[in-house]
């Protein structure tokens, strides 16, 4: 669906471009592509395809703000065969029997921080591992861990992961002895000081909080486990990222336009509207592959693609011609033969004229 002033047109030519204001247009004539722009409500992009059509606008040069990490999910395996570290053990013994997991996390400014979790066996306790949590350990930023609650600054940065005799999670216990439940997702609240921030109430440092999820109790999938296999390092998801700029956009089969930002995030920005007709052969030609609705075609049924008889959009492809190729090739051959015959006639006439001129001389 295209808009030209107050006139609504329709086209099958989908080679869209952008004008100087970032509107999606047909570049050959500047007609504006119509659809529905997404509205952001409570941080979620919403498309209202029952609303009025508008010019689709691509926010060129727009920024995607940084998002602080709120969730980190661990899914590593802790090697059952590692041994307990005795008090006063040599550094190499400590290193050999400590399993370390590291992942990037982000604060509200989009600054990267290194989350480090070191797992060691709890001496004298079967199927129990102590986890020591640090953020930016090389710069000694204070970190704390607790179960189910936002950790306070004075709490420690260790917790215990307990497994059952099948090698799956049983529960977690924070450094204050507070146990989690034994069902569902087991997580540990983590906080750390964010440098160079405006102090909060009472002059306290601003702290970044996120949930460190170790998995589902009794589950192997996407959870920390304890089996007699080589320990593995896996953080399969964290939801923070730094600020990004609009890098590209894409259109899927339903016509939804998705913005792709340089930080890897994506956002829905709009949806292309399609129109269908009871009698598409009754459309009036308006030139340049554009058509107008007429009494013969009926009114346009406008809506999202793939609904109520509307086709789907296939991005990055060319539509084949809808003419009968055999008929067109036949007509072309006939035209070629006619041209050749006419050329021969002209050539013969020219020769006869030359003969007449020769006889006259």
226 and 276 inside one domain = no
| Residue 233 shares a structural domain with residue 250 | no
User: Could you read off the pLDDT of 45-61 as tens digits, one per residue?
Assistant: 999 998 999 999 999 98
Which residue, of 192, 210, 238, is where some domain finishes? 238
Examine residue 308 and state whether it is found in any structural domain, yes or no: no
Tell me if 319 is assigned to some domain: no
Task: Give yes or no: residues 22 and 154 share one domain.
Answer: no
pLDDT tens string 1-49: 999 888 999 988 888 899 989 999 988 888 999 999 999 888 889 999 9
Looking at the structure, do residues 248 and 288 belong to the same domain, yes or no?
yes
Percent of the chain at pLDDT exceeding 70: 95
| Higher local confidence (pLDDT), 153 or 271 | 271
Q: What's the whole-model pTM score? A: 0.73
Banded model confidence at residue 147, pLDDT cuts 50, 70, 90: low
- Whether 316 is in a domain gets the answer no
In this predicted model, what pLDDT tens digit does every residue of 176-235 receive, in sequence order? 888 888 888 999 999 888 888 888 777 777 888 999 999 999 999 889 999 999 888 777
Is 115 within the bounds of a domain? yes
Same domain, 215 and 285: no
| Three-class DSSP labels, the chain | CEEECCEEEEECCCCCEECCCCEEECCCCCCEEEEEECEEECCEEECCCCCCCEECECCCCCEECCECCCEEEECCEEECCCCCCCCCCCHHHHHHCCEEEEEEEECCCCCEEEEEEEEEECCCCCCEEEEEEEECHHHCECEEEEECCCCCCCCCCEEEEEECCCCCEEEEEECCCCECCCCCEEEEEEEEECCCCCCCHHHCCCEEEEEEEEEECCCCCCCCEEECCCCECCEEEECCECCEEEEEEEECCCCEEEEEECCCCEEEEEEECEEECCCHHHCEEEECCEEECCCCCCCCEEECCCCCCCCCCCCCCCCCCCCCHHHHHHHHHHHHHHHHHHHHHHHHHHHHHHHHHHHHC
Do 205 and 262 fall within a single domain? no
For residue 361, is pLDDT > 80? no
Same-domain status, 186 and 103? yes
Q: Say what the pLDDT of residue 326 is.
A: 82
* Within a domain: 90: yes
pLDDT per residue as tens digits for the range 280-299: 999 999 888 899 999 999 99
Number of domains in the chain: 3
Q: Is the pLDDT of residue 105 over 90?
A: yes
Query: Is 356 part of any domain?
Result: yes
Does 39 fall in a domain? yes
Check which CATH number belongs to the domain holding 161 and give it: 2.60.98.20
Residue 119 predicted with pLDDT over 80: yes
Same domain? 192 vs 119: yes
Its domain, for residue 295, covers 2-63+244-303
Domain co-membership, 192 together with 78: yes
Residues 268 and 350 in one domain: no
In a shared domain, residues 75 and 194: yes
190 occurs within a structural domain: yes
pLDDT of residue 289: 85
Q: Are residues 55 and 157 in the same domain?
A: no
In the predicted structure, residue 243 carries a pLDDT above the cut 70? yes
């Amino acid at each position: 669906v295209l808009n030209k002033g107050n006139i609504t047109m329709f086209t099958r030519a989908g080679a869209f471009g952008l004008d100087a204001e970032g509107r999606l247009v047909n570049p050959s004539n500047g007609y504006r592509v119509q659809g529905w722009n997404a509205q952001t409500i409570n941080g979620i992009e919403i498309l209202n395809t029952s609303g009025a059509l508008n010019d689709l606008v691509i926010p060129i040069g727009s920024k995607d703000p940084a998002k602080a990490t709120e969730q980190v999910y661990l899914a590593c395996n802790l090697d059952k065969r590692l041994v307990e570290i005795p008090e006063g053990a040599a550094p190499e013994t400590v290193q050999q029997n400590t399993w370390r997991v590291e992942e990037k996390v982000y604060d509200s400014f989009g600054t990267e921080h290194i989350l480090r979790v070191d797992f060691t066996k709890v001496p004298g306790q079967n199927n129990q591992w102590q986890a020591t949590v640090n953020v930016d350990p090389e710069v000694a930023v204070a970190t704390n861990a607790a179960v189910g609650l936002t950790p306070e600054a004075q709490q420690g940065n260790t917790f215990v992961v307990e497994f059952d005799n099948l090698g799956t999670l049983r529960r977690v216990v924070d450094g204050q002895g507070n146990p989690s439940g034994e069902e569902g997702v087991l997580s540990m609240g983590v906080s750390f000081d964010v440098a160079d921030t405006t102090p909060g109430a009472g002059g306290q440092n601003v702290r970044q909080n996120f949930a460190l999820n170790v998995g589902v109790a009794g589950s192997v999938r996407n959870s920390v486990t304890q089996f007699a296999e080589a320990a593995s390092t896996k953080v399969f998801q964290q939801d923070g990222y730094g600020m990004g700029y609009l890098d590209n956009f894409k259109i899927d089969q339903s016509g939804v336009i998705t913005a792709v930002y340089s930080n890897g995030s994506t956002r829905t920005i709009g949806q292309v509207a399609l129109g269908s007709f009871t009698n598409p052969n009754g459309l009036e030609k308006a030139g340049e592959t554009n058509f107008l609705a007429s009494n013969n075609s009926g009114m346009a049924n406008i809506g999202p693609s793939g609904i109520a008889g509307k086709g789907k959009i296939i991005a990055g492809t060319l539509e084949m011609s809808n003419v009968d190729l055999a008929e067109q090739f036949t007509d072309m051959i006939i035209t070629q033969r006619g041209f050749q015959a006419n050329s021969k006639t002209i050539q013969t006439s020219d020769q006869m004229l030359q003969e007449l001129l020769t006889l006259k001389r």
